[in-house]
Amino acid sequence: MRCVSAMADAALAKAFAAQGLDWIVPAWTAPPRVHAFATTRNGGASRGSAASLDVGGAHFGRDAGDAAAIAENRRRITAFLPGPPVWLEQVHGRSVVVVDAANVDAMRAAPRRADALVTRAHDIALAIRIADCVPVLLAARDADAIGAAHAGWRGLAAGVLEATVAAMNAPPSSVVAWLGPAIGPAAFEVGADVVAAFCDTDKGARGHFRPGTKGKWLADLHALAHRRLNHAGVVDVHTDDSCTYSDAARFFSFRRDGVTGRMVSLIWQTRD
Protein backbone atom coordinates (compact mmCIF):
# COMPACT_ATOMS: atom_id res chain seq x y z
CA MET A 1 0.00 0.00 0.00
CA ARG A 2 1.31 3.49 -0.81
CA CYS A 3 1.92 5.83 2.07
CA VAL A 4 -0.26 8.94 2.28
CA SER A 5 2.52 11.37 1.37
CA ALA A 6 3.55 9.40 -1.71
CA MET A 7 -0.01 9.73 -2.99
CA ALA A 8 -0.03 13.44 -2.09
CA ASP A 9 3.10 14.03 -4.19
CA ALA A 10 1.92 11.95 -7.16
CA ALA A 11 1.05 15.17 -8.99
CA LEU A 12 4.61 16.44 -8.56
CA ALA A 13 6.05 13.18 -9.87
CA LYS A 14 3.66 13.31 -12.82
CA ALA A 15 4.71 16.88 -13.61
CA PHE A 16 8.37 15.85 -13.68
CA ALA A 17 7.65 12.87 -15.90
CA ALA A 18 5.65 15.03 -18.31
CA GLN A 19 8.69 17.26 -18.77
CA GLY A 20 11.11 14.35 -19.12
CA LEU A 21 12.80 15.09 -15.79
CA ASP A 22 14.34 12.31 -13.72
CA TRP A 23 14.11 14.30 -10.48
CA ILE A 24 13.30 12.36 -7.32
CA VAL A 25 10.12 12.59 -5.25
CA PRO A 26 10.67 10.97 -1.82
CA ALA A 27 8.63 7.93 -0.91
CA TRP A 28 8.18 8.46 2.82
CA THR A 29 5.55 8.82 5.52
CA ALA A 30 5.54 12.60 5.82
CA PRO A 31 2.17 14.36 6.27
CA PRO A 32 0.26 15.19 3.06
CA ARG A 33 0.89 18.91 3.62
CA VAL A 34 4.66 18.32 3.24
CA HIS A 35 6.17 18.27 -0.24
CA ALA A 36 9.72 17.57 -1.32
CA PHE A 37 11.95 16.65 -4.22
CA ALA A 38 15.59 16.28 -5.16
CA THR A 39 17.05 17.28 -8.49
CA THR A 40 19.54 15.26 -10.49
CA ARG A 41 22.15 16.75 -12.79
CA ASN A 42 19.65 16.65 -15.68
CA GLY A 43 17.16 19.17 -17.01
CA GLY A 44 19.17 22.37 -17.00
CA ALA A 45 21.13 24.88 -19.07
CA SER A 46 24.71 24.50 -17.74
CA ARG A 47 27.51 23.13 -19.89
CA GLY A 48 30.82 21.38 -19.48
CA SER A 49 31.64 19.62 -16.22
CA ALA A 50 28.58 21.24 -14.62
CA ALA A 51 26.10 20.08 -17.29
CA SER A 52 23.29 20.49 -17.06
CA LEU A 53 21.31 21.43 -13.92
CA ASP A 54 23.98 23.09 -11.77
CA VAL A 55 22.33 25.18 -9.03
CA GLY A 56 25.65 26.79 -8.09
CA GLY A 57 26.92 28.04 -4.76
CA ALA A 58 25.18 30.14 -2.13
CA HIS A 59 24.60 32.93 -4.65
CA PHE A 60 25.50 31.87 -8.16
CA GLY A 61 28.64 30.20 -9.37
CA ARG A 62 32.34 29.79 -9.53
CA ASP A 63 32.68 32.51 -12.17
CA ALA A 64 30.62 35.04 -14.09
CA GLY A 65 30.28 32.66 -17.03
CA ASP A 66 28.17 30.30 -14.93
CA ALA A 67 25.76 32.91 -13.63
CA ALA A 68 23.26 33.01 -16.48
CA ALA A 69 22.91 29.22 -16.70
CA ILE A 70 22.63 28.84 -12.93
CA ALA A 71 20.01 31.57 -12.78
CA GLU A 72 18.02 29.76 -15.47
CA ASN A 73 18.40 26.45 -13.65
CA ARG A 74 17.14 27.98 -10.41
CA ARG A 75 14.22 29.54 -12.30
CA ARG A 76 13.25 26.11 -13.64
CA ILE A 77 13.34 24.62 -10.14
CA THR A 78 11.39 27.51 -8.62
CA ALA A 79 8.58 26.90 -11.11
CA PHE A 80 7.65 23.83 -9.02
CA LEU A 81 7.85 25.67 -5.67
CA PRO A 82 5.55 28.09 -3.82
CA GLY A 83 8.22 30.79 -4.15
CA PRO A 84 12.00 31.32 -4.28
CA PRO A 85 13.72 28.85 -1.94
CA VAL A 86 15.93 29.77 1.00
CA TRP A 87 19.56 28.83 0.25
CA LEU A 88 22.53 28.58 2.59
CA GLU A 89 26.25 29.16 2.36
CA GLN A 90 27.05 25.63 3.50
CA VAL A 91 30.20 25.20 5.56
CA HIS A 92 30.17 21.57 6.84
CA GLY A 93 29.22 22.57 10.37
CA ARG A 94 26.24 22.11 12.71
CA SER A 95 24.62 25.54 12.72
CA VAL A 96 20.85 25.64 12.14
CA VAL A 97 18.89 28.67 10.94
CA VAL A 98 15.21 29.07 11.80
CA VAL A 99 13.26 30.69 8.96
CA ASP A 100 9.97 32.53 9.41
CA ALA A 101 7.84 35.14 7.67
CA ALA A 102 9.79 37.95 9.34
CA ASN A 103 13.26 36.93 8.15
CA VAL A 104 12.65 34.98 4.94
CA ASP A 105 13.18 37.92 2.57
CA ALA A 106 16.50 38.81 4.21
CA MET A 107 17.65 35.20 4.04
CA ARG A 108 16.76 34.93 0.38
CA ALA A 109 18.75 38.08 -0.31
CA ALA A 110 21.80 37.05 1.73
CA PRO A 111 22.18 33.31 2.46
CA ARG A 112 23.44 32.56 5.96
CA ARG A 113 26.54 30.49 6.78
CA ALA A 114 24.99 27.31 8.17
CA ASP A 115 24.22 23.72 7.23
CA ALA A 116 20.59 23.31 8.20
CA LEU A 117 17.27 25.10 8.00
CA VAL A 118 14.05 24.75 10.00
CA THR A 119 10.71 26.46 9.57
CA ARG A 120 7.17 26.35 10.94
CA ALA A 121 5.93 28.71 8.26
CA HIS A 122 3.91 27.64 5.24
CA ASP A 123 4.95 27.92 1.60
CA ILE A 124 8.64 28.53 2.33
CA ALA A 125 10.92 26.10 0.51
CA LEU A 126 14.18 25.09 2.22
CA ALA A 127 17.12 24.16 -0.05
CA ILE A 128 20.18 21.99 0.55
CA ARG A 129 22.88 21.70 -2.14
CA ILE A 130 24.82 18.47 -2.55
CA ALA A 131 27.39 16.71 -4.71
CA ASP A 132 28.16 13.65 -2.50
CA CYS A 133 27.03 14.65 1.02
CA VAL A 134 23.68 13.38 2.30
CA PRO A 135 20.69 15.73 1.97
CA VAL A 136 18.41 15.06 4.96
CA LEU A 137 14.80 16.23 4.88
CA LEU A 138 12.68 16.16 8.04
CA ALA A 139 8.98 16.62 8.80
CA ALA A 140 6.99 16.43 12.04
CA ARG A 141 3.69 14.57 11.75
CA ASP A 142 1.97 16.35 14.64
CA ALA A 143 3.28 19.91 14.18
CA ASP A 144 3.93 22.40 11.42
CA ALA A 145 7.67 21.88 11.48
CA ILE A 146 10.04 20.88 8.70
CA GLY A 147 13.81 20.84 8.38
CA ALA A 148 16.59 20.28 5.88
CA ALA A 149 20.23 19.48 6.61
CA HIS A 150 23.49 19.13 4.70
CA ALA A 151 25.16 16.05 6.17
CA GLY A 152 28.69 15.33 5.06
CA TRP A 153 30.97 13.46 7.43
CA ARG A 154 32.13 16.61 9.21
CA GLY A 155 28.60 17.84 9.80
CA LEU A 156 27.40 14.41 10.90
CA ALA A 157 30.25 14.05 13.38
CA ALA A 158 29.65 17.58 14.67
CA GLY A 159 25.97 16.84 15.33
CA VAL A 160 24.15 18.72 12.58
CA LEU A 161 21.26 16.25 12.53
CA GLU A 162 20.77 16.31 16.29
CA ALA A 163 20.82 20.12 16.19
CA THR A 164 18.26 20.21 13.37
CA VAL A 165 15.87 17.84 15.16
CA ALA A 166 16.16 19.92 18.34
CA ALA A 167 15.48 23.17 16.43
CA MET A 168 12.25 21.73 15.06
CA ASN A 169 10.87 21.83 18.61
CA ALA A 170 8.74 18.73 18.02
CA PRO A 171 8.87 15.30 19.70
CA PRO A 172 11.60 13.38 17.85
CA SER A 173 9.35 10.31 17.77
CA SER A 174 6.92 12.31 15.59
CA VAL A 175 9.58 13.25 13.05
CA VAL A 176 10.02 11.39 9.77
CA ALA A 177 13.27 11.67 7.80
CA TRP A 178 14.33 11.13 4.22
CA LEU A 179 17.96 10.65 3.21
CA GLY A 180 18.62 11.54 -0.41
CA PRO A 181 21.27 10.37 -2.89
CA ALA A 182 24.88 10.57 -1.67
CA ILE A 183 28.24 8.94 -2.25
CA GLY A 184 27.86 5.22 -1.57
CA PRO A 185 29.78 2.92 0.77
CA ALA A 186 31.76 1.31 -2.05
CA ALA A 187 33.16 4.70 -3.14
CA PHE A 188 33.62 6.85 -0.04
CA GLU A 189 37.17 6.12 1.09
CA VAL A 190 38.31 8.02 4.19
CA GLY A 191 41.21 8.14 6.62
CA ALA A 192 41.49 6.97 10.20
CA ASP A 193 40.66 10.50 11.36
CA VAL A 194 37.12 10.13 10.02
CA VAL A 195 36.69 6.77 11.72
CA ALA A 196 37.87 8.32 14.98
CA ALA A 197 35.51 11.29 14.61
CA PHE A 198 32.59 8.89 14.90
CA CYS A 199 33.89 5.91 16.83
CA ASP A 200 35.68 7.72 19.65
CA THR A 201 32.26 8.74 21.02
CA ASP A 202 30.16 5.91 19.57
CA LYS A 203 31.83 2.51 19.41
CA GLY A 204 28.86 1.06 17.54
CA ALA A 205 29.56 3.31 14.57
CA ARG A 206 32.52 1.07 13.71
CA GLY A 207 30.09 -1.23 11.91
CA HIS A 208 29.59 1.43 9.25
CA PHE A 209 33.24 1.40 8.20
CA ARG A 210 35.06 -1.41 6.41
CA PRO A 211 38.71 -1.66 5.41
CA GLY A 212 39.67 0.00 2.14
CA THR A 213 43.10 0.22 0.51
CA LYS A 214 46.44 1.35 1.97
CA GLY A 215 45.16 1.92 5.49
CA LYS A 216 42.00 3.70 4.35
CA TRP A 217 38.40 2.90 5.24
CA LEU A 218 35.17 2.79 3.26
CA ALA A 219 32.44 4.76 5.07
CA ASP A 220 28.68 4.34 4.74
CA LEU A 221 27.37 7.92 5.02
CA HIS A 222 23.73 6.91 4.72
CA ALA A 223 24.08 4.41 7.56
CA LEU A 224 25.95 6.92 9.74
CA ALA A 225 23.22 9.52 9.17
CA HIS A 226 20.55 6.93 9.96
CA ARG A 227 22.36 6.05 13.19
CA ARG A 228 22.68 9.67 14.28
CA LEU A 229 18.97 10.25 13.64
CA ASN A 230 18.06 7.16 15.66
CA HIS A 231 20.20 8.41 18.55
CA ALA A 232 18.32 11.73 18.35
CA GLY A 233 15.03 9.86 18.71
CA VAL A 234 13.99 9.82 15.03
CA VAL A 235 13.08 6.23 14.18
CA ASP A 236 11.05 6.64 10.97
CA VAL A 237 13.87 7.03 8.43
CA HIS A 238 13.60 6.43 4.68
CA THR A 239 16.59 6.29 2.35
CA ASP A 240 17.22 6.69 -1.36
CA ASP A 241 20.53 4.84 -1.52
CA SER A 242 21.46 6.00 -5.03
CA CYS A 243 25.23 6.57 -5.24
CA THR A 244 26.23 9.96 -6.62
CA TYR A 245 29.78 8.77 -7.33
CA SER A 246 28.91 5.69 -9.38
CA ASP A 247 26.14 7.16 -11.55
CA ALA A 248 27.78 9.93 -13.57
CA ALA A 249 24.86 10.15 -16.00
CA ARG A 250 22.46 11.16 -13.25
CA PHE A 251 24.43 12.82 -10.46
CA PHE A 252 27.20 15.33 -9.85
CA SER A 253 29.99 14.05 -7.60
CA PHE A 254 32.74 16.20 -6.14
CA ARG A 255 34.76 13.14 -5.11
CA ARG A 256 34.59 11.73 -8.64
CA ASP A 257 35.09 14.89 -10.71
CA GLY A 258 36.54 17.63 -8.52
CA VAL A 259 35.20 20.54 -10.59
CA THR A 260 31.50 19.88 -10.92
CA GLY A 261 28.01 21.24 -10.33
CA ARG A 262 25.63 20.98 -7.40
CA MET A 263 22.20 19.40 -7.09
CA VAL A 264 19.54 20.47 -4.61
CA SER A 265 17.01 18.83 -2.30
CA LEU A 266 13.98 20.90 -1.29
CA ILE A 267 11.15 20.70 1.21
CA TRP A 268 8.15 22.92 1.99
CA GLN A 269 4.77 22.63 3.65
CA THR A 270 1.36 23.96 2.72
CA ARG A 271 -1.39 24.94 5.13
CA ASP A 272 -3.59 21.97 4.21
pLDDT digits (tens, 9 = 90+) for 146-203: 999 999 999 999 999 999 999 999 999 999 999 999 999 999 999 999 999 999 999 9
**For residue 58, what are the contacts with CB-CB under 8 A and spacing of at least 6?**
87, 88, 89, 90, 111
Q: Over 70: is that where the pLDDT of 250 sits? A: yes
Average pLDDT over residues 206-230: 97
SS (H, E, C) 126-169: EEEEECCCEEEEEEECCCCCEEEEEECHHHHHHCHHHHHHHHHC
Question: Is the domain covering 4-269 a CATH 3.60.140.10 domain?
Answer: yes
pLDDT in tens, 111-124: 999 999 999 999 99
Q: For residues 21, 27, 28 and 32, what is the CA-based torsion angle, rounded to 10 degrees?
A: 60
Helix, strand, or coil (residue 202): coil
Domain ranges of the chain: 4-269
